[in-house]
Structure 1
Amino acid sequence: MSAAFPHPDPSIRPADRRVSARIGAIAESATLAVDAKAKALKAAGRPVIGFGAGEPDFPTPDYIVDAAVAACRDPKNHRYTPAGGLPELKAAIAAKTLRDSGWTVEPSQVLVTNGGKQAIYEAFAAILDPGDEVVVPAPYWTTYPESIQLAGGVAVEVVADETTGYKVTVEQLEAARTENTKVLLFVSPSNPTGAVYTRAEVEAVGRWAAEHGLWVLTDEIYEHLVYGDAEFVSMPVAVPELADKCIVVNGVAKTYAMTGWRVGWMVGPKDVIKAATNLQSHATSNVSNVAQVAALAAVSGDLAAVDEMKTAFDRRRQTVVRMLNEIPGVVCPEPEGAFYAYPSVKGLLGKEIRGRRPQSSAELAALVLDEAEVAVVPGEAFGTPGYLRLSYALGDEDLVEGVSRLQKLLGEAQD
């Protein structure tokens, strides 16, 4: 369990505190830090292969870029627009939500945000009071607990491992529930594990939340990236009685290869959306109009581009899982969604590799970067030490080369 944001040291004068206790307690995004280090090493001439950032290696589709270029030339986009989003984009997101998940919502239930991260923070800020608890299944994406803490809440972790496909059970959730529990965070497909809950599992979790009057914040950013027989199921559709206490977070970043455009959104009850919109009106005002017009083209178009990307991701998924499982001491369940593999490396910890004995996945990740020039994110960043996250959203050749380096290096492990 992570504590709510800390109180300042009363022995220090306010004027002498250089950084607030609240902000000083925030950890840097581990995934972005790994990606930045990998890019810096590459810029210095080292042949680093980065598995760190969750970012498609495809360009944004041309029709979306063309819409943005046209928007740049239209003077109406050079001015302030409503803080909650362009009306036409909000309407398109409502239509897209019905098309893709079967949930009927109104444009007034939509808030357009600066990427999914802002949506997540504003959602928690809108519904949490200090001390409210949020049940957070782990492994979790690094931003979730930090957003909860910033909003004054307390993250209560419920850990799943490779033996259950990284999926938590209702029994685990119930064991974590207290009188202070207000929200369940639910993510499927999952970052960092690629786990996808079945329809029956989504329904069971949703009914449990509804039975206890809990809110659910569900992140659906990877909704279109599911493989094999896996199925994306939207929580408020599977459990309609939960819809009035459910907030859905989404965005264009992963589906349309638009990570840098910074357009996300949240969908939920009108009163919560209005509160979050008020917050955004003071925090950032409107999202860039040019980016919003690009997002409008994206969500209004078909899914041909994502289908092409998904074919490539599926091929890479199978390759990375096969190659990782060939390494003695590594266990990697097959991810069913998103574009991440999350192997357990607990079988390698404490073993000697090139004169070093890493005792944690963080130490192992550092060794891998130093010795194999491969950047991965350690499980500590996701609340579960003993694992590594590899994004397979990179070119096929780089993927094979990178995992081959891992095979060579980690294959040297000795007792």
Structure 2
Amino acid sequence: MPPVELSRSGTKMASLSGLRLIMDDIATTTGSATGTEWLNLGIGNPAAIPKVMDTWQRMTTEALVASFGNVSCRYGPSRGLPELVDAIADYFNKRYGWSIEPRNIVVGPGSQMLCFIAAALFTGAGATRDTRLVLPMTPDYTGYQGLSLTPGGVTGVEPVLHLQDDRSFRYLFDLPSLEGLTDVGLMLLSSPSNPAGRCASHDEIQRLVAAAHSHDVPLVVDNAYGAPFPAIGGPSTAPIRDEHVINVFSLSKAGLPGERLGFAIADEQHIDPIVSFLSNSALHAPQLVQSTLTHALRSDVLDMLVASVIGPFYAERRKFVESLLAETLPEDIAWHLHASEGGMFCWVWVDEEWFDDLRLYETLKRRGVFVVPGRHFFTDAEPSQSLGRHAQQCFRISITPDPDTIAAGVQVIASALDDMRAESIGISQ
């Protein structure tokens, strides 16, 4: 049979991003090589914290008993279950002093789907001009690069590199470059970010909001790792309420990634089109988990989990992994760790001419270890005038595997770096 002919947008969406190819390779390799002990430091799942899992299981069971017939055996409103929408409004109004109403809220099947809907609504071919989805700073979550139906519809602004000391660096926003763009339809960032764990400060968010006003476009802030839940990391910046801001929240990193539930809060001019898009596509988000979240918000259970379990777990785990890297990676190699305030990853930059992220990936794979190559988190991984080869010199380590797995994997990474350097010296001689 001849190959199926896809539309331009179909061809775009039917192709896997670079990182999805890597994740498929990890899944295929670990699934087919029987008897091999793999050390997977590339996973993006939240940690399996027993108390978190037990709490969600109990609350889901309670929702199942109390409301299964009403929520799982009937269709519901596209905006979300009314009781959940009301609970979200009450929660954010009480916590942050907002004055939002149900008309400011939409519940969707995961925060990534809500971001996809926003990109479809506010970018692409328009009545007067064509616009793109702009990431105000790369590297950022690689899934954002698949949100546009239009080839070339996503672009990112390169960061400014700031070395803090011999082993620590930080990305800074290049706001003049962002402000100078002419084809912005929507701005989107994660905070804390995936992969670097960078939290945008209140002042930085305010400057991004000002840029959104200047371009007259929405700014989507993806709070998947941030406040109020799961608030993974250090002090979390409270979400900012503004007429140009679409705040997106998720239950995934708070312990329910498989349930695909997220919600957005914004002005009606942005929420109403998202509700209509959901009605025309998915109809509504899964409703049993909506009922579960309603109870979690009303009873303060979610706040308790964040404050007493999730936050302390990730703070301790990050401290462990960062200390492990400092003690284990070769001292005479120019490696740097991004100064992180949150998230579930460590972001390592090896500032050596001989280093290449894909070469490290293949070297580690042969030794039974997986990390994630860094280039896929940049919209353009080619060498640039400002960053040089930086996008090809980074890799991501997850802090969610068990400590023994992380420790063993970091030992292999250290050995691989030594061998890659020695090989480069041998080639140059």
Scaled to the shorter chain, the TM-score interval is: 0.7 to 0.9
Q: 1:93 to 1:210 in 2, by over 3 A?
A: same
Contact 1:83-1:285 within 8 A present in 2 as well:
yes
8 Å contact kept, 1:35–1:375: no
Identity between Structure 1 and Structure 2 (%): 21
Instruction: Quote the Cα distance in structure 1 between the aligned partners of 2:318 and 2:134.
Output: 29
Q: Secondary structure at the match of 1:185?
A: strand
Query: Unpaired segments of 5 or more residues in structure 2?
Result: 163-168, 379-390
> Residue in 2 aligned with 1:168?
173
1:341–1:389: 8 Å Cα contact kept in structure 2?
Answer: yes
Match for residue 193 of structure 1? Answer: 196
The alpha-carbon distance between structure 1 residues 121 and 388, as it changes in their structure 2 partners (threshold 3 A), is: same
Cα shift at 1:223: 1.3
1:33 is displaced (CA, Å) by 5.0
1:93 aligns with 2:85: no
How far apart are 1:75 and its partner, in Å? 1.4
Partner of 2:139: 139
Greater displacement, 319-328 / 245-254: 319-328
**Matching of residue 305 in structure 1 with residue 305 in structure 2:** yes
Which residue type is aligned with residue 105 of structure 2? Answer: V
From 349, 366, 375, the counterpart of 2:362:
366
- The 3 A distance-change label for structure 1 pair 316 and 268 is same
Q: In 1, are the aligned partners of 2:9 and 2:150 still within 8 Å (CA)?
A: no
Is 1:125–1:151's contact at 8 Å kept on the other side of the alignment? no
Does the C-alpha gap of structure 1 residues 16 and 257 become closer, same or farther in structure 2, counting only changes over 3 Å?
Answer: closer
Which residue of the partner structure matches residue 69 of structure 1?
Answer: 61
Give the deviation of 1:80 after TM superposition.
0.9
Q: Shift of residue 72 of structure 1?
A: 3.3
Q: Which amino acid aligns with 2:139?
A: P
Residue 16 of structure 2 is aligned to residue 28 of structure 1: yes
Farther off after superposition, 156-165 or 401-410: 156-165
Q: Matched residues in 1 for 2:124 and 2:25: separation?
A: 36
Shift of 1:42: 4.1
Q: Which amino acid aligns with 1:272?
A: H
Contact 2:132 2:154 in 1 (8 A): yes
Aligned residues of 1:206 and 1:235 also touching (Cα < 8 A): no
Assess if the C-alpha contact under 8 Å between 1:331 and 1:345 holds in 2: yes
RMSD: 2.5
In 1: Cα distance, 2:91 partner to 2:273 partner:
23
Aligned partner of 1:252 in structure 2 is 251
Residues 327-338 of structure 1: matches in 2 within 5 Å?
327=330, 328-338=333-343
CA distance in 1, matches of 2:100, 2:20: 33
In 2 relative to 1, CA 52–98 (structure 1 residues): closer, same or farther, beyond 3 Å?
Answer: farther
Deviates more, 1:106-115 or 1:158-167: 158-167
1:389 corresponds to 2:418: no
2:282 counterpart letter in structure 1: T
Q: Is the 8 A contact 1:324 1:343 kept in 2?
A: no
| Contiguous gaps of at least 5 residues in structure 1 | 1-14, 237-242, 352-359
Q: 1:29 to 1:103 in 2, by over 3 A?
A: farther
Q: Secondary structure of 1:336's match?
A: coil
Structure-2 separation of matches of 1:152 and 1:85: 32
For each residue in 1:214-266, what CA deviation from the matched residue of structure 2 results, as whole angstroms up to 9, or x when unmatched?
A: 321111111143544x4323233xxxxxx222211111111x21111110112
Query: 1:151–1:18: structure 2 CA closer, same or farther, 3 Å change rule?
Result: closer
Distance in 1 (alpha carbons) for counterparts of 2:272 and 2:393: 42
The verdict on how the C-alpha distance between 1:362 and 1:262 changes in structure 2, with shifts beyond 3 A counting, is same
Give the match for residue 158 of structure 1.
Answer: 157
2:105·2:263 contact (CA, 8 Å) conserved in 1? yes
Provide, for residues 187-235 of structure 1, a one-character-per-residue CA deviation record: whole Å limited to 9, x for no partner. 221111100122222223322332443321111111143544x432323
Q: In the aligned structure 2, how far is the partner of 1:320 from the partner of 1:285? A: 42
CA apart distance, 1:51: 2.1
Q: Secondary structure at the match of 1:279?
A: helix
Name the counterpart of 1:375: 370
- Post-superposition shift, 1:397? 2.0
CA distance, structure 2, for counterparts of residue 160 and residue 279 of structure 1: 33
Aligned with residue 45 of structure 1, among 11, 35, 43: 35
Q: Residues 79-132 of structure 1, C-alpha deviation per residue, up to 9 Å, x if partnerless? A: 111122111111122233335555432122111111111111112222224121
State the Cα distance separating 1:324 from its structure 2 match. Answer: 3.1
CA distance in 2, matches of 1:248, 1:100: 15
Contact 1:52 1:375 in 2 (8 A): yes
Matched AA of 1:292: Q
Question: Kindly tell me: are residues 29 and 292 of structure 1, through their superposed partners in 2, closer, same or farther at Cα, counting changes over 3 Å?
Answer: farther
Q: Does the Cα contact within 8 Å between 2:9 and 2:151 map onto a contact in 1?
A: no
Structure 1 residues 297 and 29 mapped into 2: Cα distance closer, same or farther (>3 Å)?
farther
Distance 2:415 2:3 in 1: 52
Query: Structure 1 residues 271, 202: CA separation in 2 closer, same or farther (over 3 Å shift)?
Result: closer
Instruction: Decide whether aligned partners of structure 1 residues 124 and 363 sit closer, same or farther in structure 2, where only a CA change above 3 A counts.
Output: same
Q: 1:216 to 1:42 in 2, by over 3 A?
A: same
Alignment-mate amino acid for residue 8 of structure 2: A
- What is residue 292 of structure 1 aligned with on the other side? 290
TM-score, with length taken from structure 1: 0.83
Shift of 1:37: 4.1
Distance 1:152 1:369, change over 3 A: closer
How far residue 62 of structure 1 moved from its aligned partner, in angstroms, is 2.9
Q: Quick one: distance in 1 between partners of 2:396 and 2:21?
A: 14
Q: Aligned in 2, Cα 1:363/1:20: closer, same or farther, shift over 3 Å?
A: farther
TM-score, normalised by the number of residues in structure 2: 0.81
- State the one-letter code of the partner of 1:199: H
> Partner of 1:183: helix, strand, or coil?
strand
Structure-1 separation of matches of 2:334 and 2:35 = 32
Q: Distance in 1 between matches of 2:160 and 2:24?
A: 28
Distance in 2 (CA, whole Å) between partners of 1:376 and 1:64 is 29
